[in-house]
Amino acid sequence: MNKKANIQKLKQYGFKKDKDIFKYSTDIMNGDFTLNIQVINENEIQTKLIEKAFDEPYTLHLVEDVQGTFVGQIREEYDKILKDIKEKCFEMQVFEWDYSYKVLDYAKNKYNSEAEYLWEKFPRNAVCRRNDNQKWFFAILSVKGSKIGLNTDEIVELIDLRATAEEVEKLTATQNYYPAYHMNKRHWFTIVLDGSVKIEKIYEYIDKSYDLAKK
């Protein structure tokens, strides 16, 4: 699994957004060098080290075979800064699909419900609970599409949601809604998080599911 930048944490660290790129600069080696860092597509880091005296890029710290006290100090400061940024601004990217993160962010921002990863053997499965009674109001699961009746064995990311028995019956009789995977099929249903159901509609179902989990 890859790591992905947390935009809010990048901003808190001091990165500034320029179009779709986040940029950060800091001086090292007592101000003799400027380290410019860019985060692109939320998971790619690019760096350029500028030696101020000559206003030119310095690259010897990137060459493993180059040794010496001076270049070693530069390399140490350079690595320390990058490690700090990765630890403070990047998070493990468990899921592949954008909608999966959108629903997790929605649950966190509206209900203060953090995703829980309960199964060691299934690290790409998560649940969100109500804080008052600890009941789940949705689960995100990564399964083969064939498991829910799709004509593919590729992994899909889906959300299981609570609903009334009447609504479950109505929804699962229509396109893009499926009987709940690994949940009670009378009181839960499944949506594939591929955009086949608009995210605003999924938010509505999350709100209803949250209310039903109060009982």
Least confident of 92-96, 108-112, 208-212: 92-96
**Nearest Cα to Cα of residue 10 among 128, 89, 92:** 89
User: pLDDT class for 94, splitting at 50, 70, 90?
Assistant: confident
| CATH class label, 98-212 | alpha beta
**C-alpha 111: how far from its chain's center?**
18
Query: What are the sequence ranges of the domains in the chain?
Result: 2-93, 98-212
Residue (of 141, 117, 154, 153) closest to 191 by Cα position: 141
Burial grade of 109 (CB within 10 A; 0-12, 13-18, 19 or more)? exposed
The top-scoring range by mean pLDDT among 82-96, 111-125, 168-182 is 168-182
Return the sign of the alpha-carbon dihedral for residues 16, 20, 21, 22: positive
Mean pLDDT (the chain) is 95
Rounded Cα distance, 38 and 166, in Å: 51
Residue 148 and residue 181 in contact, taking contact as beta carbons nearer than 8 Å: yes
pLDDT tens for 139-198 read 999 999 999 999 999 999 999 999 999 999 999 999 999 999 999 999 999 999 999 999
How large is the average pLDDT for residues 117-129? 92
pLDDT tens track for 45-70: 999 999 999 999 999 999 999 999 99
pTM for this prediction:
0.66
- Per residue in 16-47, pLDDT (tens digit) is 999 889 999 999 999 999 999 999 988 889 99
CB burial class (10 A; 0-12, 13-18, 19+) of residue 2? exposed
Q: Nearest-CA neighbor of 181 among 121, 131, 138?
A: 138
Residue type, 98: D
Question: Of 199, 2, 192, which is closest to residue 95 (Cα–Cα)?
Answer: 2
Neighbour-count burial for 57-83, b at 16+ CB within 10 Å, e otherwise: ebeebeeeeeeeeeeeebbebbeebee
pLDDT > 70: percent of the chain: 99
